[in-house]
């Protein structure tokens, strides 16, 4: 990424955050790795249109721009990428369908939105499966995870790389949430929570006594603003960079699910590319995914602090409170483990246990 472009982005990022939320500066972000490697041979030109759900300030957008920079530099401008943020081309499910029909070249959904294509991806939706970012990244870079991507074969979707959406946190506009009983509401109605369009997430919040509503990410801000739902759950960086704190007063650091992103290309676009371009696209996707994970980590704690500075009352669960949530959602494992695959779950847990040694 050229320095001028990054400085412009940082300025835009800071301005956006500053204008929208007074006194924000984007976090000190690491520079992306230098783009090295030979310029590949001339195999024609491609202008790739890529739709993503998050905003220009998100790690998802910044790393997608870096992906485009790599391709542009390594093909001497013959491959360029135009990134359309803020769900402006559609939501995760719609954009994957656009890849299948060839009306869009790339998108970057949460793995949770893709379980309709590869049901085993729902393993990542099991609550509290991945106890730390280090363990999560180890799993995402393992053969077990990469074999899951083979499940897209023949779907019209060409997966390129996993990266990090991150640990999901609960936010809401109704009340402070410290226990599962607070979610269910003993003398008041259960919290109405927007979830991704994913059956395991629906089960998590139903099991906690909430009233879950599956909804596209692009409709979420206005649904919360109009009181259609009390709350939602996403990583702190998404809550901040999507300005959810403007319509959400309370946060709870539940870290109930670690969600991956999957960078993907339309198979129609892939099939039009020469093998040398295909190899470069895979390499650029891997490099940008690694950068995205680094940015996501740098944004996480900083975003929570920024949200508190903007007035969001954030509850940090102590061990006992966290254990109460983990215990309350245990039935979700009992219901979903047989469908997702006990062996797959054991394989992932073995990696997690190995990473903690
Ligand atoms: C953005 C979505 C979002 C996800 C959600 O395209 O829908 O809540 O967490 O990040 O993938």
User: How confident is the model over 77-107, as pLDDT tens digits?
Assistant: 999 999 999 999 999 999 999 999 999 999 9
Find out whether the beta carbon of 68 lies less than 6 Å from any atom of ligand 1.
no
DSSP state of 10: H
What pLDDT, on the 0 to 100 scale, is given for residue 23? 46
25 pLDDT band, cuts 50/70/90, is low
List CB contacts of 248: < 8 A, sequence separation 6 or more: 171, 172, 173, 224, 231, 232, 239, 312
**Considering its fold, how many domains does the chain have in total?**
2
**Residue ending a domain, choose from 306, 324, 342:** 306
What pLDDT, on the 0 to 100 scale, is given for residue 314? 98
Same-domain pairing of 214 and 331 = yes
Same-domain pairing of 350 and 217 = yes
Q: Indicate the burial class of 99 (C-beta count within 10 angstroms; 0-12, 13-18, 19 or more).
A: buried
Looking from the CA of residue 87, the nearest atom of ligand 1 is 6
Residue 41 CA to ligand 1 center (angstroms) comes to 37
Same-domain pairing of 228 and 272 = no
Tell me the best of 167, 197, 224, 238 to mutate to test the pocket of ligand 1, counting ligand atoms within 8 Å of each CB and taking the most: 238
Find out whether the beta carbon of 109 lies less than 6 Å from any atom of ligand 1.
yes
27 pLDDT band, cuts 50/70/90, is confident
> Whole-prediction pTM value?
0.93
Q: pLDDT tens digit string along 241-299? A: 999 999 999 999 999 999 999 999 999 999 999 999 999 999 999 999 999 999 999 99
Same-domain pairing of 191 and 212 = yes
Averaged pLDDT for residues 180-199: 93
Same-domain pairing of 107 and 225 = no
Interatomic CA distance for residues 348 and 6, integer angstroms: 37
Which tokens in the block code for residue 94? 């719609």
Strands (E), the chain: 46-51, 79-84, 106-107, 157-167, 169-172, 192-195, 211-214, 231-234, 250-253, 258-266, 313-316
Q: Per the domain annotation, does 26 fall within a domain?
A: no
Averaged pLDDT for residues 112-116: 98
Which tokens in the block code for residue 128? 């509290």
Averaged pLDDT for residues 328-345: 96
Q: Picking from 4-8, 56-60, 102-106, which range would have the lowest pLDDT averaged per residue?
A: 4-8
Range of the domain at 94: 2-13+37-118+131-165+260-306
55 with 217: CB under 8 angstroms? no
Q: Indicate the burial class of 274 (C-beta count within 10 angstroms; 0-12, 13-18, 19 or more).
A: middle
Interatomic CA distance for residues 251 and 249, integer angstroms: 7
Query: Is residue 209 scored above 70 in pLDDT?
Result: yes
Residue 133 CA to ligand 1 center (angstroms) comes to 18
Compute φ and ψ for 196, nearest 5 degrees. -65, 165
Query: Is residue 214 scored above 50 in pLDDT?
Result: yes
Q: List, in sequence order, every residue forming a beta bridge with 171; answer none if it has no partner.
A: 232, 251
What pLDDT, on the 0 to 100 scale, is given for residue 22? 46
Residue 204: HSE in the Cβ half-sphere, 13 Å Cα cutoff? 27
Nearest CA to ligand 1 atom 6: 53
Same-domain pairing of 228 and 292 = no
Find out whether the beta carbon of 75 lies less than 6 Å from any atom of ligand 1.
no
Average per-residue pLDDT for the chain: 93
């Amino acid at each position: 990424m050229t320095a001028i472009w990054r400085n412009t982005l940082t300025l835009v990022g800071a301005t956006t955050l500053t204008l929208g939320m007074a006194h924000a500066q984007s976090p000190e972000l690491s520079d992306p790795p230098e783009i090295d490697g030979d310029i590949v041979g001339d195999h024609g030109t491609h202008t790739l249109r890529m739709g993503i759900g998050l905003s220009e300030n998100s790690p998802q957008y910044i790393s997608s721009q870096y992906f485009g920079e790599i391709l542009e530099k390594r093909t001497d401008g013959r491959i360029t990428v135009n990134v359309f943020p803020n769900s402006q081309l559609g939501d995760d499910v719609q954009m994957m369908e656009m890849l299948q029909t060839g009306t869009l070249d790339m998108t970057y959904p949460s793995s949770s939105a893709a379980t309709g294509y590869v049901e085993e991806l729902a393993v990542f939706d099991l609550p509290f499966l991945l106890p730390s970012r280090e363990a999560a990244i180890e799993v995402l870079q393992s053969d077990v995870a990469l074999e899951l991507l083979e499940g897209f074969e023949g779907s019209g979707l060409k997966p390129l790389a996993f990266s990090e959406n991150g640990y999901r946190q609960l936010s809401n506009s109704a009340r402070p949430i410290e226990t599962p009983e607070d979610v269910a509401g003993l003398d008041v109605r259960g919290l109405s929570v927007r979830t991704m369009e994913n059956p395991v997430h629906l089960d998590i919040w139903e099991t906690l006594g909430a009233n879950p509503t599956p909804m596209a990410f692009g409709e979420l801000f206005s649904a919360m603003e109009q009181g259609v739902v009390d709350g939602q759950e996403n990583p702190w960086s998404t809550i901040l960079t999507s300005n959810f704190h403007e319509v959400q007063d309370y946060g709870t650091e539940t870290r109930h699910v670690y969600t991956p992103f999957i960078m993907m290309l339309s198979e129609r676009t892939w099939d039009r590319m020469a093998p040398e371009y295909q190899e470069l696209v895979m390499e650029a996707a891997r490099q940008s995914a690694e950068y995205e994970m680094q940015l996501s980590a740098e944004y996480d704690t900083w975003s929570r602090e920024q949200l508190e500075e903007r007035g969001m009352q954030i509850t940090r669960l102590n061990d006992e409170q966290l254990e109460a949530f983990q215990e309350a959602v245990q039935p979700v494992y009992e219901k979903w483990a047989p469908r997702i695959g006990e062996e797959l779950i054991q394989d992932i847990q073995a990696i997690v246990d190995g990473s903690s040694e």
